[in-house]
Amino acid sequence: MGYYPGRCLLARRLREIGKSQQWLSDVTGISKSQISDYVTNRRIMSLSTAMTISKAVKCSMDDLYEFVRE
């Protein structure tokens, strides 16, 4: 039994805290285009990126994706 990341929930998290992708880029140093790639599911975050983003938006790493069971 395993899990893999499904839909990215980052856009929802940003809306909940009233912040933009540009703000997240500014506070994390991650490019806005890379953040956009996560939001649109063109790219999946590495563990270190997910940790960085989760700290910035004050949520758990588990809250950044819908996880799908294999």
Q: For 36-60, write each residue's pLDDT tens digit.
A: 999 999 999 999 999 999 999 999 9
Q: What are phi and psi of 45, to 5 degrees?
A: -65, 145
Question: Where does 3-59 sit in CATH, by number?
Answer: 1.10.260.40
Percent of the chain at pLDDT above 90? 96
- pLDDT the model gives residue 66: 96
Domain ranges in the chain? 3-59
Between CA 55 and CA 10 the distance in angstroms is 12
Q: What are phi and psi of 10, to 5 degrees?
A: -60, -40
Between CA 69 and CA 33 the distance in angstroms is 29
Between CA 50 and CA 28 the distance in angstroms is 11
Radius of gyration of the chain (CA): 11
Tell me the average pLDDT of the chain.
96
